């Protein structure tokens, strides 16, 4: 086992600074506590491979990222993943991780599993996955106890301190640009490369792109529409924030054939900034938007609509061309996409957007 005494000491040092940043705008739900025998189960859990290995993989594999360079000397047999959705990429490629972080948003029970994750695990016959309960910070000891050969964190919010500690356990595949900015394609390629499955990763991307194209073709009316992902709060209508096209949610909308208007893109001065925080006094930035997508429900829409001086005057709000995704639902988690989540929810998401488009010409 990898230097547990050193890890324990570093955990104490980092405890006051290590924070888990949720992948869904900081929205978090309380997860169940870690089972006492989880570590013991992890010791005997082996990574399962249901697809052939990349015959073209050559070692050592070198992956550059925001914290430097990771070198993987040989084919990883035990894959662990942390934070948001990296385990779904592994599962989509036929690999069952020896341990992975519980989903902290959109889960409807105490399993820590979103439905597409649970479905894939059932397909592989996995009844008791090793799930890290790390809502309040990475569980370094549980990660170490899973004895991984590689740790996947391509889509995550890990800090330099997190990365340094994780590398004491195993090589880490981190994000390339900034926390929570990795698109689903880059998430697939980084994680697949880290598992020695680059060719399979490329095929997964092609298959997912084909699926999206087929599904979107059923909604020709959404093509070319101006869109923005906007989050409002009924508790504070003095401001709102917009996920930019640099955020995976914004880029997913663009991939469906919609586009952000220049009134918004002109305000994006930092390409690594995934959101714009704006005062309600700047609500006119949204007047060129045909469709507003965001987290919320009918009560939130009514609250925004009832703000006549500012937010209620937004064109899309006035005509009702709004697609609010139910907060803390599986779909709300899936719109921060990965191949498994896309496959499971794209019909539901497109139906919601299509309904908003219908309001434009009413």
Looking up residue 116, the CATH number of its domain turns out to be 3.40.50.1980
Assess if residue 47 is contained within a domain.
no
Confidence of residue 55 (pLDDT cuts 50, 70, 90): low
**Please, which contacts does 327-331 make with residues 24 or more away whose CB atoms are closer than 8 Å?**
327/27, 327/295, 327/296, 327/297, 328/27, 328/29, 328/105, 328/106, 329/106, 329/108, 330/106, 330/107, 330/108, 330/114, 330/115, 330/116, 331/106
Confidence of residue 269 (pLDDT cuts 50, 70, 90): confident
Do 204 and 86 lie in one domain? The reply is: yes
DSSP H or E segment with residue 160: helix 160-166
**Through-space distance between the first and last CA atoms of the chain, rounded to whole angstroms:** 65
- What is the predicted pLDDT for the residue at 174? 98
- Global pTM? 0.83
How confident is the model over 321-332, as pLDDT tens digits?
A: 999 999 999 999
Assess if residue 46 is contained within a domain.
no
Do 241 and 340 lie in one domain? The reply is: yes
Do 179 and 258 lie in one domain? The reply is: no
How large is the average pLDDT for residues 230-255? Answer: 95
Confidence of residue 272 (pLDDT cuts 50, 70, 90): confident
Do 117 and 159 lie in one domain? The reply is: yes
Confidence of residue 273 (pLDDT cuts 50, 70, 90): confident
Q: Which domain holds residue 292?
A: 220-359
Do 136 and 238 lie in one domain? The reply is: no
- What is the predicted pLDDT for the residue at 331? 97
For the chain, how big is the Rg over CA atoms in Å? 21
pLDDT over 80 at 32, yes or no: no
Higher pLDDT, 109 or 17: 109
Do 271 and 179 lie in one domain? The reply is: no
pLDDT over 60 at 337, yes or no: yes
Angle between helices 339-358 and 184-194 (to 10 degrees): 180
Assess if residue 34 is contained within a domain.
no
Percentage of the chain exceeding pLDDT 70: 84
- What is the predicted pLDDT for the residue at 262? 96
- What is the predicted pLDDT for the residue at 274? 87
> Which tokens sit at 255?
């991939």
- What is the predicted pLDDT for the residue at 181? 87
Please enumerate in sequence order all residues whose Cβ is within 8 A of that of 56, keeping only pairs 6 or more positions apart, or say none.
198, 199
Assess if residue 98 is contained within a domain.
yes
pLDDT over 50 at 5, yes or no: no
Higher pLDDT, 116 or 58: 116
- Total number of residues shown for the chain: 362
Count of alpha carbons within 13 Å of 45, Cβ hemisphere only?
Answer: 26
Do 224 and 209 lie in one domain? The reply is: no
Assess if residue 253 is contained within a domain.
yes
The number of domains in the chain is: 2
How large is the average pLDDT for residues 245-266? Answer: 95
155, 190, 217 - which closes a domain: 217
Name the pairing type of β-strands 172-174 and 150-153: parallel
- What is the predicted pLDDT for the residue at 338? 97
> Which tokens sit at 332?
């709300």
Do 291 and 352 lie in one domain? The reply is: yes
Confidence of residue 22 (pLDDT cuts 50, 70, 90): very low
How confident is the model over 169-207, as pLDDT tens digits?
A: 999 999 998 899 899 999 999 999 999 999 999 999 999
Angle between helices 339-358 and 198-216 (to 10 degrees): 20
Contact between 196 and 76 under an 8 Å Cβ cutoff? The reply is: yes
164, 187, 217 - which closes a domain: 217
Q: Please state, in angstroms and rounded to a whole number, the distance separating the CA atoms of residues 37 and 346.
A: 37
Q: Please state, in angstroms and rounded to a whole number, the distance separating the CA atoms of residues 362 and 35.
A: 54
Please enumerate in sequence order all residues whose Cβ is within 8 A of that of 58, keeping only pairs 6 or more positions apart, or say none.
none
Q: Residue for token digits 């052939």?
A: 52
- Of 28-32, 82-86, 308-312, the one with minimum mean pLDDT is 28-32
- What is the predicted pLDDT for the residue at 329? 96
How large is the average pLDDT for residues 206-233? Answer: 98
Please enumerate in sequence order all residues whose Cβ is within 8 A of that of 200, keeping only pairs 6 or more positions apart, or say none.
51, 52, 54, 93, 94, 192
Contact between 229 and 274 under an 8 Å Cβ cutoff? The reply is: no
Assess if residue 15 is contained within a domain.
no
Mean residue pLDDT of the chain comes to: 87
How large is the average pLDDT for residues 330-352? Answer: 97
- What is the predicted pLDDT for the residue at 136? 87
pLDDT over 60 at 1, yes or no: no
Percentage of the chain exceeding pLDDT 90: 78
Assess if residue 11 is contained within a domain.
no
- What is the predicted pLDDT for the residue at 108? 87
Do 189 and 334 lie in one domain? The reply is: no
How large is the average pLDDT for residues 290-318? Answer: 95
Question: Residue 240: beta bridge partners?
Answer: 278
- Of 36-50, 169-183, 344-358, the one with minimum mean pLDDT is 36-50
Do 237 and 175 lie in one domain? The reply is: no
pLDDT over 80 at 37, yes or no: no
How large is the average pLDDT for residues 6-25? Answer: 37
183, 217, 251 - which closes a domain: 217
pLDDT over 90 at 40, yes or no: no
Q: Please state, in angstroms and rounded to a whole number, the distance separating the CA atoms of residues 134 and 136.
A: 5
Q: Please state, in angstroms and rounded to a whole number, the distance separating the CA atoms of residues 361 and 319.
A: 9
pLDDT over 50 at 123, yes or no: yes
Name the pairing type of β-strands 68-72 and 61-65: antiparallel
pLDDT over 60 at 12, yes or no: no
């Amino acid at each position: 086992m990898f230097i547990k005494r050193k890890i324990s000491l570093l955990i104490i040092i980092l405890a006051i600074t290590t924070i888990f940043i949720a992948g869904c705008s900081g929205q978090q739900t309380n997860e169940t506590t870690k089972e006492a025998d989880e570590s013991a189960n992890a010791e005997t859990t082996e990574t399962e491979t249901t697809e052939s290995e990349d015959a073209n993989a050559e070692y050592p594999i070198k992956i550059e990222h925001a914290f430097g360079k990771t070198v993987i000397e040989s084919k990883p047999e035990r894959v662990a993943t942390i934070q948001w959705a990296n385990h779904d990429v592994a599962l989509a490629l036929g690999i069952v991780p020896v341990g992975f972080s519980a989903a902290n948003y959109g889960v409807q029970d105490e399993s820590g599993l979103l439905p597409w994750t649970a479905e894939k695990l059932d397909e592989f016959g996995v009844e008791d996955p090793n799930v890290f309960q790390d809502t309040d910070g990475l569980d370094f000891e549980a990660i170490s106890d899973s004895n991984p050969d590689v740790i996947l964190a391509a889509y995550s919010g890990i800090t330099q301190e997190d990365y340094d500690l994780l590398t004491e356990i195993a090589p880490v595949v981190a994000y390339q640009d900034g926390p929570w900015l990795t698109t689903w394609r880059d998430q697939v390629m980084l994680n697949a490369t880290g598992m020695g499955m680059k060719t399979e990763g490329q095929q997964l991307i092609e298959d997912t792109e084909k699926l999206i194209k087929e599904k979107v073709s059923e909604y020709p009316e959404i093509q070319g529409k101006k869109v923005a992902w906007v989050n409002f709060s009924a508790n504070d209508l003095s401001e709102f924030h917009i996920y930019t096209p640099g955020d995976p949610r914004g880029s997913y909308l663009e991939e469906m054939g919609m586009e952000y208007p220049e009134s918004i893109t002109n305000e994006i001065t930092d390409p690594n900034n995934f959101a714009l925080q704006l005062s309600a006094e700047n609500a006119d930035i949204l007047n060129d938007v045909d469709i507003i997508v965001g987290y919320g429900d009918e009560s939130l829409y009514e609250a925004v609509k009832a703000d006549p001086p500012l937010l209620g005057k937004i064109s899309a709000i006035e005509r009702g061309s709004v697609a609010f995704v139910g907060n803390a639902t599986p779909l709300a988690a899936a719109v921060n996409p990965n191949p498994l989540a896309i496959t499971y929810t794209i019909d539901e998401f497109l139906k919601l957007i299509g309904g908003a488009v219908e309001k434009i010409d009413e």
